[in-house]
Amino acid sequence: MFEHLPTPPPAQPAGDHRSTLAARPSRLDGADAIAAYLGKPARWVYQARERRWRVPIRKADGLGLYAFVDELDAWQRDPATLAQ
């Protein structure tokens, strides 16, 4: 009776977020990208570097600021950063 309908693709399990993670960048380049990811203003990113806060933001000579998403996520989960 329904032989003409295409078979839908199998559904992903509820906890399977591979497609979401694959689309997420592993490195954020520039203060604007880092700020947007953290939900902070870009000035905060510069202050974090200038004031030597323990935020995993790096500066490459001549290339500007960058950060790795996994390190930022770990920093946000660290209980020591909750007071900042």
pLDDT tens per residue, range 10-67: 555 555 444 445 556 799 999 999 999 999 999 999 999 999 998 999 998 887 999 9
For the chain, give every domain's residue range: 25-81
Task: Report DSSP letters for 26-60, one per residue.
Answer: SEEESHHHHHHHHTS-HHHHHHHHHTT-S--EEEE
pTM metric for this prediction: 0.65
- pLDDT bracket for residue 4 (50, 70, 90): low
**Taking 80 as the threshold, does the pLDDT of residue 81 lie above it?**
no
**Taking 60 as the threshold, does the pLDDT of residue 3 lie above it?**
no
Alpha-carbon distance of 30 to 27, in angstroms, equals 10
SS3 state of residue 65: strand
The answer to whether 75 touches 55, Cβ cutoff 8 Å, is yes
CATH of 25-81, one of 3.20.20, 1.10.260, 1.10.10, 3.30.1540: 1.10.10
